[in-house]
Structure 1
């Protein structure tokens, strides 16, 4: 018969006190450890405080410079160019002789016309005397009525011949005068398309040279129909003075520099402003764009026809504009823009540690337009909001985050943008 030995009770009586002591020790150790604090688990982010500022609203549009007056110089008679009497690129005045065509043939034609006029005058004088004698004979019935009528008719023909000879002489003199090709307008003349000895023809297709007036220039601006409607409404609301004088259009040249002149009195640069002209009366059907025109002074001749420039048109002023850094703005799956803000700090800053524990909150925003490296916020933010600009990927909406204010790096860019806005944007 097998023998069973009960060893459970002695083991239980031996290990139970030890197990209880070990359990109490673990509970005591667990009670002494409070676990990680929220400051240790929260991600670190940097934020910037949104502050209202004065902002000048502007539109920046592409433009192309065009001369105020453009005149193409063409010959009006045929001939050989004998001389070129101007310096390429130099200013010329209206009526100045630019080219000289060989006048020999036209001088001969003038002399011929002059001789024909003298012949007509002599013939007319003879006919007048004949008519005078015929009148005396007609009163005495010494000549027939037919002879008298023929005499009067011949005298009339002689007078008409004089008029025709005078017209021919005038035409010959005009053609002779055309051999001296003169400047039709004052301005700056470009390069010459012909040289001495070239054969030119009257009203030929290719001009000999082009004269342009650039003391004042047009800037043709291409913009969308929607932008044009907005500007027209603004002009109607602000009156005829808008878009002219100090509120006129301004230029940024192709190299990025402003179109301005130094002001010795104030030690600053003074913008050259242009008057905005609504010249176009139709919209291009293929592009939906419309052309505007602005008139700019060009005292230094810096603006040349064909040059590209950006035109800044002032639309208005927002006294308390809210701007948010572009790097802080994100878009969700539906295309709506949002930012992450910090709310309700739970710890107070000290001189040694400026980091605070915040609650992360998502805010949808509606954007208007970019200004430098920032967006103009139309709605969704308020002054004083703390917007996360660094560590956005680590921040979770409705979660916690350790926030530290960034250096005021946006102020410099904002000041530069506002300066550009005040002066030219």
Structure 2
């Protein structure tokens, strides 16, 4: 009986020991498995980023507005007398000089009018000679009492009247000569003739709405453009310091067409759009600016000397405002609040929060957390670029 009891106690001890071992193994397995994410977290790989170096440089500040090219002079070639358009002496698109003959109107009626005025003057001149002789005789007779003084006065009035008629005749001759001169249409200025709208053989009138052609002077040319009215004081301030440079770019804002100077600011702001109109003048010697063409006018407002700049992609916006990721000497990322100045092209001026030479993250920020390790995928280089 005792041997049986001893065997039972032995088996119970074995069962208890096995249970304890199993529990210990289970607890160890649980702790091991639960520790795996923490181990993975602490061994998180570095975040790949592209970085740039904050540097100082002179930064030009530009204002760009949409504008249209205007010729410096636009003249409609119109008749100044009515008549039949006899000849057109220009070729469409031709460059002409001031005084060049452009067209002729039938001059016959105007020549006849001039001849008539000259004939009338000759007639009055002959009458004046006769009246003058009669006046001399009347004065002689009046001295001897042969005729009344009233007769002398009447003869004097006739002479004075004929003199006045001759003055009027001379004015009529001048008018007729001017009218005859108008039958030859000449270029009022240097420029380029456009498309002809009236052919020879048509009767033209002074009151016609459509000109024979349009003459434009494109050297120099002007650009009329608009800018937001909030820049008025800054532009006026720039004008007080000297000429303000304006560059005309094509519609894609990529190719510079011509460089000129700001001529004036319009005398009123458009309240409907809160914009101001400006006019710039360009020499346009190569005629790359064409009247009616839309261009982007880029005005050089000022130059910021020794300004701290970074690529615009560095600037991030968060709940607390603007910030940038700074790469520390230990290759970890830290977010720093910043304040910015103007953005010019692909560069942004930093006024505080970043120092000269700081390494800043330019790409890959969306994966970053505070104190995250970073791996530079592009070698750091000073920021570069320019205003476009």
Q: What is the aligned counterpart of 1:324 among 302, 307, 311?
A: 311
1:66·1:217 contact (CA, 8 Å) conserved in 2?
Answer: yes
| Residue 324 of structure 2: aligned partner | 339
Displacement of 1:27 in angstroms is: 8.5
1:45·1:395 contact (CA, 8 Å) conserved in 2?
Answer: no
In structure 2, how many angstroms separate the alpha carbons of the residues matched to 1:275 and 1:364? Answer: 40
Q: 1:70 to 1:404 in 2, by over 3 A?
A: same
Q: Larger deviation: 52-61 or 185-194?
A: 52-61
Displacement of 1:61 in angstroms is: 2.4
2:309·2:349 contact (CA, 8 Å) conserved in 1?
Answer: yes
Q: 1:131 to 1:7 in 2, by over 3 A?
A: farther
Ranges in structure 2 where 5+ consecutive residues have no aligned partner: none
| Residue 133 of structure 1: aligned partner | 137
1:50 is aligned to 2:53: yes
Q: What is the aligned counterpart of 2:274 among 270, 282, 288?
A: 288
In structure 1, how many angstroms separate the alpha carbons of the residues matched to 2:23 and 2:8? Answer: 21
1:48·1:387 contact (CA, 8 Å) conserved in 2?
Answer: yes
In structure 1, how many angstroms separate the alpha carbons of the residues matched to 2:6 and 2:327? Answer: 68
Q: What is the aligned counterpart of 1:367 among 327, 330, 340?
A: 340
Q: Larger deviation: 161-170 or 369-378?
A: 369-378
| Residue 287 of structure 2: aligned partner | 301
1:42·1:401 contact (CA, 8 Å) conserved in 2?
Answer: no
1:43·1:395 contact (CA, 8 Å) conserved in 2?
Answer: no
| Residue 210 of structure 1: aligned partner | 214
Ranges in structure 1 where 5+ consecutive residues have no aligned partner: 261-271, 346-355
Displacement of 1:62 in angstroms is: 2.2
Displacement of 1:407 in angstroms is: 1.8
Q: 1:123 to 1:51 in 2, by over 3 A?
A: same
In structure 1, how many angstroms separate the alpha carbons of the residues matched to 2:6 and 2:108? Answer: 151
2:54·2:360 contact (CA, 8 Å) conserved in 1?
Answer: no
1:98 is aligned to 2:84: no
In structure 2, how many angstroms separate the alpha carbons of the residues matched to 1:200 and 1:6? Answer: 142
SS in 1 for 2:338: strand
1:111 is aligned to 2:111: no
- CA-to-partner distance for each residue in 1:338-376, whole Å, 9 max, x for gaps? 33344462xxxxxxxxxx5x2x43333333333334433
CA RMSD of aligned residues (A): 3.1
| Residue 14 of structure 1: aligned partner | 14
Q: 1:14 to 1:259 in 2, by over 3 A?
A: closer
1:404 is aligned to 2:375: yes
Q: 1:22 to 1:82 in 2, by over 3 A?
A: same
Q: What is the aligned counterpart of 1:377 among 350, 353, 373?
A: 350
Displacement of 1:111 in angstroms is: 1.2
In structure 1, how many angstroms separate the alpha carbons of the residues matched to 2:26 and 2:309? Answer: 57
In structure 1, how many angstroms separate the alpha carbons of the residues matched to 2:42 and 2:217? Answer: 72
1:47·1:386 contact (CA, 8 Å) conserved in 2?
Answer: no
| Residue 178 of structure 2: aligned partner | 174
In structure 2, how many angstroms separate the alpha carbons of the residues matched to 1:395 and 1:7? Answer: 67
In structure 2, how many angstroms separate the alpha carbons of the residues matched to 1:7 and 1:206? Answer: 131
Q: Number of residues paired by the alignment?
A: 378
Displacement of 1:176 in angstroms is: 0.9
1:39·1:402 contact (CA, 8 Å) conserved in 2?
Answer: no
In structure 1, how many angstroms separate the alpha carbons of the residues matched to 2:352 and 2:230? Answer: 22
In structure 2, how many angstroms separate the alpha carbons of the residues matched to 1:19 and 1:300? Answer: 100
In structure 2, how many angstroms separate the alpha carbons of the residues matched to 1:343 and 1:19? Answer: 54
In structure 2, how many angstroms separate the alpha carbons of the residues matched to 1:394 and 1:301? Answer: 52
1:62 is aligned to 2:78: no
SS in 1 for 2:288: coil
1:78·1:201 contact (CA, 8 Å) conserved in 2?
Answer: yes
1:43·1:394 contact (CA, 8 Å) conserved in 2?
Answer: no
2:310·2:347 contact (CA, 8 Å) conserved in 1?
Answer: yes
Displacement of 1:43 in angstroms is: 5.9
Structure with bigger strand share is: 2
SS in 1 for 2:162: helix
| Residue 252 of structure 1: aligned partner | 249
In structure 2, how many angstroms separate the alpha carbons of the residues matched to 1:409 and 1:222? Answer: 40
2:54·2:354 contact (CA, 8 Å) conserved in 1?
Answer: no
